[in-house]
Structure 1
Amino acid sequence: MNALAALGGLRTVGLDELNARAELQTRVDRKYIVPARDLPAVLHALPTGSDVLEIGGENALRYASQYFDTPTLDSFYGAVRGRRRRFKVRARTYLDSGGSFLEVKTRGARAATVKDRVPVTGDELDDEAVAYATDLLADAGIPGAARLAERLQPTLVTRYRRATVLLPATPGGDPSRATIDTELTWIAADGAVLQLPSSVIVETKSGQRAGALDRALWRQGHRPAKVSKYGTGMAALHSDLPANPWHRALSRHFRHGTIARGIAPGTASVPA
């Protein structure tokens, strides 16, 4: 948590204000893998007028995401092969507030990410959730949407602590938001656990123009990285899977992580 200490000096905003100023469900995402030791300098470089999301008195909240894929890993291989009509399906749980949402991410025009979501109970896909995923996949033009949705099963869990920053508009642009994820953990379906304590994933979410945090990161020598929490996590935990799109991230950052095997999913030894 010390790495996020600089956020304590920012004005706080609630979720309603954050969404009103920069909801950005359709956006361009840029991801950066930053050494944890460099994060304080990045935060101190945030532009004047930056705010941090606070919920229940906390500005770094615990998240868990259960990713779903088919037995043949259609979602994973769609990312590996760079398919235009690729997708991700996950149940995201806000561990501090208890809310859960089923999220379906697809690719829109000009490489924009389109994310739709609906509240769910728990992290299992019931008939209603499968129907919802089917409709969204079909709307995105993904072939065989119904069969894909019906075959989805739990594949990978990610856990992390997230701070969300609202950044002022750049000249000619709109306000943008960014997320900063620490305490990164991946849990495979077989119980293998990967932890990455020395790295932080920063994700900027803006329109077509780069946001204020992108520019601050660039000035400090950090460049966007090819990384996917789902795809890179799967490749790191399963050496038999292809990893070409994320080779650089895996070799530079994930090799510093620790992997524990033989741990039953959901046990207390997995950080909550």
Structure 2
Amino acid sequence: MKMLDTSCFRPISLEHMDEVKLMNRTDTKYCATIDQLNELFQKIQPHYYVLTMDGENQLPYETTYFDTPSALMYSNHVRGKKNRYKIRRRTYLSTGIHFIEIKFKNNKGRTIKERIETEAIFKELSPKEQVFLNDKTPFDPIYLQPGLQNRFKRITLVNKNLKERCTIDVNLQFIQHQEKVVLKDLAIIEVKTGDRNTLSEIAIALRNMRIKPSGFSKYAMGRSLVDEKIKSNAIKPKIRNLQKLSRISIFTHQLT
């Protein structure tokens, strides 16, 4: 993967980010190359901090997504259904902390996120996780099963006005059974604000660079790439658009 230069940003600690958790928010996503990302960093540098832990600001994440046997949550997403859910277990590899998380996208375009910390990773949902999901979602957790695993590194930028957060995911890898797909030279930028009226220097800079918003779900995209049995016609145009981006390649590996 190409090198990213984040040295232009002043660091911010995890403790100082408490004001911008944004569990009820508006999300806007963009796709860019690493070269474009480095250019963006230079343009927005005066306005943002970068989350830094133990001197590192490109932090590794691992996620397992859960779905019904018929992949209903995947289907709802690619069909653009309103009031849809996403259920995942996320591990912050830098700290060893695990959460089971629910993301609910309502019919007003807002994302509401709820989560609880879990003690360890299980292949299936633990009793504690099942109680949480049974209480917070319309799905019976007994029938939910792992649908996809992904790994990536995340850069988190925080606007100095503390009203906006931006996550940037790079080195994306999607894994299902013995199949792994790697997206090279791709960055997924997600701008998160609690108020639609919040001024976003990142959004302005991306618009000036002629990078338009582009819906990108790591679960939907990853599953369509690694699962040959799943219907993915609705998402194929997005896959083709990714491949058109400069120097972005999709590599498939068989795990041993």
Q: Structure 1 CA distance, aligned partners of 2:165 and 2:120?
A: 27
State the match for 1:179 in structure 2.
167
Residue type at the aligned position of 1:199? L
Q: Structure 2 CA distance, aligned partners of 1:205 and 1:245?
A: 26
Deviation at 1:47, TM superposition (A): 5.0
TM-score by length of 1: 0.85
Residue type at the aligned position of 2:159? L
Q: Structure 2 CA distance, aligned partners of 1:160 and 1:146?
A: 28
Change (3 A) 1:215 1:243: farther
State the match for 1:191 in structure 2.
178
Deviation at 1:109, TM superposition (A): 5.3
Q: Is the 8 A contact 1:31 1:202 kept in 2?
A: yes
State the match for 2:212 in structure 1.
223
Q: Structure 2 CA distance, aligned partners of 1:186 and 1:177?
A: 25
Q: Is the 8 A contact 2:83 2:107 kept in 1?
A: no
Q: Secondary structure at the match of 1:27?
A: strand
CA RMSD of aligned residues (A): 1.9
Deviation at 1:80, TM superposition (A): 2.0
Q: Which moved more, 1:216-225 or 1:72-81?
A: 72-81
Do structure 1's residue 260 and structure 2's residue 253 form an aligned pair? yes
Q: Secondary structure at the match of 1:55?
A: coil
What is the number of equivalent residue pairs in this alignment? 248
State the match for 2:61 in structure 1.
63
State the match for 1:136 in structure 2.
136
Residue type at the aligned position of 2:185? S
Could you list the runs of 5+ residues in structure 2 that have no partner in the other structure? Answer: none
Deviation at 1:121, TM superposition (A): 2.4
Which structure's relative contact order is higher, taking Cα pairs within 8 Å and 6+ residues apart? 2
Q: Deviations over 1:235-272 (max 9, x none)?
A: 111244333443333012258210113x15xxxxxxxx
Q: Secondary structure at the match of 2:38?
A: helix
TM-score by length of 2: 0.90
Q: Structure 1 CA distance, aligned partners of 2:220 and 2:98?
A: 22
Q: Secondary structure at the match of 1:162?
A: strand
Q: Is the 8 A contact 1:64 1:157 kept in 2?
A: yes
Deviation at 1:227, TM superposition (A): 1.2
Q: Is the 8 A contact 1:226 1:246 kept in 2?
A: no
Identity %: 27
Residue type at the aligned position of 2:239? L
